[in-house]
């Protein structure tokens, strides 16, 4: 069974409605001269399908009473909204062969349904009863306000051909409807709440205005926000079992509009939360306050100072815009014209989950990270760029911590789908004894990071309140939509780089389409992104992998590792060497230097990039425990040279002649050496 189905069964309670049948008092369909029993949610068609000639006609809505909604007390004594249905048999519709009647009700949004079947235990002798057609009803179905339901009623047995049923689409009215406004579900939304809002203002005048707002509380709202509109003053108060509350505001006269204010109360009922109906009233304080607000000399001075500060800030912004790299700009197209707006907001972060399919695919992932950071200003979290912390805490703990940080914020998790993602997900769903392991999984110090990521992220993803944190994408030229695991089919799948602009809007939590205009971002669309250096490198990486796939159709099968036994050599104490396989573009060597009497000793970690350079490096220094004193780091880069040095200095306590330890990194050499800092 697909793991997605299991998780939906576990977490699917949040997606269901309250559609059900009241259990008390029990349903009774028996009538004079007719013995009848009730079956609920046991409506199998087995034995109830007959040839058309042996089946009765369909029912009719009962004249004058088709369906209506009212409230009824449930098993716990609470008032619940229920729908009442009433139907009758056709007089000439084969009444003598009817063996029962059946009702199906389905909630359209969640597809939840219930079935009620009335089964007759004796044959109906007369076509009418008390000179009226045989009539049946159902008034125990609990529904939700403003939901839509489809109702179908059959006579039994059902015909094998034709549609002999009664269909109806029913929309339940909202809580403002007088028939259901007293239901508990409406009380929990605040439909009957009358705050009886009042306010008082002292009549003695003064430099400050004191306003006291009073209101009645509601049973199902513990928190309230009271605001004075046109100002920045608001207060949160808790009910704490009180039936009424008073809130006092003390405001400067110059902060208020002339004479009239708007007082707003926002409740937080348990069902509507922060989307509950606001209650407001206008306050004309001039009739109570002896000294209405005037525009005095002090107010004019404050306004003038505010204008000067605003002008200085605007000048600073303009100077910064026209004297620096414009970066990412929002472009809007109202009525066919473009207008640029500079992005000014906090830096967004994205965690990228991917599969180590092939060195050329890893190159694409790294180039995408570089493009997001350099062109888009996005902070990227990637295991390859955080190997030091990942090696300390472990892969699962690292992934769980990153997920928690992103779920708590508006940041995103981007899942890049590829052949490796598809294969590993299918292995997880099929319960295969042997995991899918690729060559790059064996070569990577972190190993396979995708499988634990899917095991950790998918259960969190299926919760509806975390959908906004997840994005799914794939490179159209080297991957396909079939690579997307089944749980992610319920959200948008972005094709890169065709849909990169839409993906970037998701990263910023902004809408591309707004009333009257369409937002655009300059420089990141499919036909523009490669005009910058990082975008060009990304396009070249995608084209290189695409060409490799065309030349090697079975490339993925070649990357699969059948023999998972990997031998690891124990490093010596004097010389620690970690060498990547011969096809890896980087060789890293590490050494612990001795003490040089003439001065501080130097530790040089040498990295030699090859032609297939990933352009992203990570240099980490590890100091021996117990060292005291500050550690200094220095990074020296030569833009027109291949030399780059990283120096790490820390006091050493070996003897008086060695006063510091330094580490340097020179990518232009590939041999281990020791030296003295200059």
Residue 201: closest CA among 295, 284, 293, 294: 284
Per-residue pLDDT, 535: 92
Cα–chain-centroid distance for residue 107? 25
- Hey, what CATH topology would domain 349-551 get? Rossmann fold (3.40.50)
User: What torsion, rounded to 10 degrees, do the Cα atoms 341, 343, 345, 348 define?
Assistant: 150
Output the pTM of the full model: 0.40
* Strand partners of residue 132: 129
Q: What is the DSSP letter of 285?
A: G
pLDDT of residue 396: 87
Spans of all domains in the chain: 16-174, 188-287, 349-551, 576-678
* Phi (first) and psi of residue 17, to 5 degrees: -100, -175
pLDDT score, position 547: 94
CA distance 341 to 370: 24
Q: CA-CA distance, 229 to 210, in Å (whole number)?
A: 15
Joined tokens for residue 531: 């005009």
Count how many residues are written for the chain.
678
Contacts of 522 (CB under 8 A, 6+ apart): 328, 329, 331, 340, 528
How far apart (Å, rounded) are the C-alpha atoms in residues 151 and 169?
6
Do 148 and 109 contact (CB within 8 A), yes or no? yes
Q: What pLDDT was estimated at residue 463?
A: 66
Please provide the CATH number assigned to the domain covering 16-174. Answer: 2.60.40.2160
Query: Same CATH fold, 188-287 and 16-174?
Result: yes
Going by C-alpha positions, the residue among 414, 411, 389 that lies closest to residue 345 is 411
Cα distances from 191 to residues 178, 214, 227, 374, in angstroms, run 10, 20, 21, 52
Please state the separation of Cα 258 from the chain's center in Å: 44
Name the phi and psi angles at 132, rounded to 5. Answer: -130, 155
Q: Does residue 229 contact residue 262 with C-beta atoms inside 8 Å?
A: yes
Q: Which of 261, 251, 264 is nearest to 287 (CA)?
A: 261
Task: Output DSSP code: residue 336.
Answer: G
Report how far residue 637's alpha carbon sits from residue 667's, in angstroms, rounded to the nearest whole number: 11
In angstroms, rounded to a whole number, what is the distance separating the alpha carbons of residues 615 and 370? 9
The strand pair at 493-496 and 470-475 is best described as parallel
Catalogue the E-assigned strands of 113-259.
113-120, 128-129, 132-133, 135-142, 148-156, 158-159, 165-171, 198-200, 208-216, 221-228, 233-238, 244-252
Q: Which CATH class is domain 188-287?
A: mainly beta
Spans of the chain, pLDDT less than 70: 1-17, 64-67, 93, 203-207, 230-231, 253-255, 288-299, 320-346, 431-434, 463-465, 563-678
Backbone angles phi, psi at 659, to 5 degrees: -110, 0
Q: Give the span between the Cα atoms of 36 and 45, in whole angstroms.
A: 19
Task: Estimate the share of the chain in helix, then strand, then coil, as percent rounded to the nearest 5.
Answer: 25, 30, 45
Tokens of 282: 């206008």
- At 45, give phi and psi (nearest 5°): -80, -5
Determine the 3-state secondary structure of 331 from DSSP: strand
| Cα distances (Å, whole numbers) of residue 504 to 349, 350, 444, 471, 593 | 11, 11, 29, 10, 47
Whose CA is closest to 420, among 500, 480, 488, 490? Answer: 480
d(CA 68, CA 54) in angstroms, rounded, equals 33
């Amino acid at each position: 069974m697909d793991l997605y189905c299991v998780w939906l069964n576990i977490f699917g309670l949040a997606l269901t409605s309250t559609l059900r049948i009241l259990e008390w008092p029990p349903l009774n369909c028996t009538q004079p001269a007719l013995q009848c029993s009730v079956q609920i949610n046991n409506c199998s068609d087995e034995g109830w399908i007959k040839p058309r000639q042996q089946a009765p006609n369909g029912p009719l809505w009962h004249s004058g009473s088709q369906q209506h909604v009212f409230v009824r007390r449930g098993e716990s004594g609470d008032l619940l909204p229920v729908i009442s249905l009433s139907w009758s048999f056709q007089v000439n519709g084969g009444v003598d062969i009817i063996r029962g009647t059946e009702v199906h009700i389905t909630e359209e949004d969640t597809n939840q349904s219930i079935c009620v079947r009335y089964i007759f235990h004796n044959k109906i002798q007369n076509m009418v009863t008390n000179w009226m057609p045989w009539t049946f009803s159902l008034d125990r179905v609990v529904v939700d306000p403003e939901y839509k339901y489809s109702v179908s009623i059959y006579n039994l047995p059902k015909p094998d051909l034709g549609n002999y049923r009664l269909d109806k689409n029913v929309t339940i009215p909202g809580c403002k409807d007088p028939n259901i406004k007293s239901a508990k579900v409406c009380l929990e939304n605040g439909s009957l709440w009358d705050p009886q809002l009042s306010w008082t203002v002292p009549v003695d005048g003064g430099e400050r205005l004191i306003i006291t707002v009073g209101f009645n509380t509601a049973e199902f709202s513990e928190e309230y926000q009271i605001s004075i509109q046109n100002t920045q003053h608001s207060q949160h108060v808790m009910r704490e079992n009180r039936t009424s509350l008073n809130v006092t505001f003390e405001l400067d006269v110059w902060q208020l509009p002339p004479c009239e204010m708007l007082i707003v109360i926002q409740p937080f009922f348990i069902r509507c939360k922060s989307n509950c109906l606001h209650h407001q009233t206008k306050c004309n304080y001039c009739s109570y306050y002896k000294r209405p607000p005037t525009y005095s000399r002090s107010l004019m001075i404050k306004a003038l100072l505010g204008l000067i500060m605003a002008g200085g800030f605007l000048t600073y912004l303009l100077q910064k815009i026209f004297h620096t790299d414009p970066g990412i700009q929002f472009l809007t197209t109202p009525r066919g014209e473009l207008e640029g707006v500079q992005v000014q907001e906090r830096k967004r972060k994205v965690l990228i989950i991917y599969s180590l399919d092939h060195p050329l695919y890893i190159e694409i992932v790294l180039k995408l990270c570089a493009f997001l950071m350099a062109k888009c200003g996005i902070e990227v979290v990637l295991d390859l760029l955080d190997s030091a912390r990942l090696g300390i805490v472990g892969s699962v703990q690292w992934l769980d911590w990153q997920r928690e940080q992103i779920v708590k914020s508006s940041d995103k998790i981007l899942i890049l789908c590829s052949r490796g993602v598809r294969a590993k997900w299918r292995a997880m769903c099929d319960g295969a004894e042997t995991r899918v392991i690729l060559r790059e999984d064996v070569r990577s110090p972190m190993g396979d990071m995708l499988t634990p990521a899917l095991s950790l992220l998918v259960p969190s993803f299926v919760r509806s309140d975390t959908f906004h944190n997840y994005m799914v994408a794939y490179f159209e030229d080297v991957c396909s939509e079939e690579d997307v695991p089944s749980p992610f089919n319920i959200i948008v799948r972005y094709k890169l780089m065709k849909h990169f602009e839409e993906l970037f809007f998701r990263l910023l939590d902004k809408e591309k389409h707004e009333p009257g205009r369409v937002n655009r971002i300059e420089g990141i669309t499919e036909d523009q992104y490669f005009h910058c250096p990082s975008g060009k490198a990304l396009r070249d990486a995608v084209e290189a992998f695409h060409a490799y796939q065309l030349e090697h159709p079975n490339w993925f099968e070649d990357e699969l590792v059948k023999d998972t036994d990997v031998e690891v050599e124990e490093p010596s104490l004097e010389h620690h060497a970690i060498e990547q396989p011969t096809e890896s573009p980087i060789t890293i060597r590490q050494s612990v230097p001795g003490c040089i009497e003439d001065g501080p000793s130097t530790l040089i970690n040498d990295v030699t990039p090859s032609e297939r350079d990933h352009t992203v490096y990570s240099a980490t220094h590890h100091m021996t425990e117990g060292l005291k004193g500050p550690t200094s780091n220095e990074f020296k880069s030569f833009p027109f040279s291949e030399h780059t040095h990283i120096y790490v200095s820390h006091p050493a306590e070996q003897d008086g002649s060695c006063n510091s330890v330094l580490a340097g990194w020179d990518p232009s050499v590939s041999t281990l050496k020791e030296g003295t800092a200059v």
